[in-house]
Structure 1
Amino acid sequence: MGTSLTPDFWKLFGVLLVISIAVTFVVSAALDTLVVRLQERRRRRLTDDRTDTTPHWTDRPRRTLVHH
């Protein structure tokens, strides 16, 4: 049994195709924006750490070895 592809089918197919393309585009743009923001935040955090003049290990008191 074959089915005929009516004009209504093609109209609905076109509408669904355009909607799926639009949704794909919007989701892709949103994910790209999220990734760029996360990368910028990470890059800022790394550069902020590097601008400190004192290394992180100097914040802790030094342990001295006691020889008995």
Structure 2
Amino acid sequence: MGTSLTPEFWERFAVLLVPAAGITCVLTAVLDDVAVRLLGRGEPRTPSRLPHHPVRKDHDRTSAYC
């Protein structure tokens, strides 16, 4: 007993496929946004100032530039 795929089947398939693809895209974007927000929560967005690195002054070393 073989069944053929009727035009009504293809119509219903297309009607269900389009919203399913749209819901998948929207849900993926929302979950991606949530993941980015959760991962970035512990880090400051802009550093308050650059870290201070003390300048070493080694007078006993000769400079490579004369």
TM-score by length of 2: 0.60
Local SS of the residue matching 1:42: coil
Higher helix residue share: 1
Q: Amino acid of the residue matched to residue 33 of structure 1?
A: D
TM-score by length of 1: 0.58
Could you say which structure has the larger radius of gyration? 2
Q: Which residue of 2 aligns with 1:41?
A: 41
Moved over 2 A (4+): none
> Which structure 1 segments of 5+ residues have no match?
52-68
RMSD between aligned alpha carbons? Answer: 2.2
> Which structure 2 segments of 5+ residues have no match?
50-66
